[in-house]
Amino acid sequence: MLENATMCGCSRSLGVISAIFASLAVLALIAEDGCMDGGGRVSDVAWVCEVASGISVNIWSLVSPFAIGLVVLGIGVPVYLGANAIGGRLIAAYGRRHG
């Protein structure tokens, strides 16, 4: 039972989902900061930056591909590795108790 519990890949999917959400949260903060630095404000109802001239810009256009790569490497990968390790240990512990 223990081998089946650790081979299911459940901890990897938990790691991927955690990494995606952590990276998106950091990227949203970077985009919001970029919007405010340009004198705009982030809309409450949509993912847009409203500048003083009345123009609305997609908030994700304020994040450069370089920043996305840095966030994926600096936040996404460590979160993935941590969640994968913790998830694997929890699944293995559950398998030992109930197997």
pLDDT tens string 18-31: 999 999 999 999 99
Q: Where are the alpha helices (DSSP H) in the chain?
A: 2-7, 10-37, 65-71, 77-98
pTM: 0.78
Q: What digits encode the pLDDT tens for the residues 30-73?
A: 999 999 988 888 887 778 998 888 888 898 898 999 999 999 99
Question: What is residue 88's predicted lDDT score, i.e. its pLDDT?
Answer: 79
Amino acid, res. 79: V
User: Which helix (H) or strand (E) covers residue 49, if one does?
Assistant: strand 48-50
Domain ranges of the chain: 2-35+62-98
Half-sphere exposure of 40 (CA within 13 A, CB side): 22
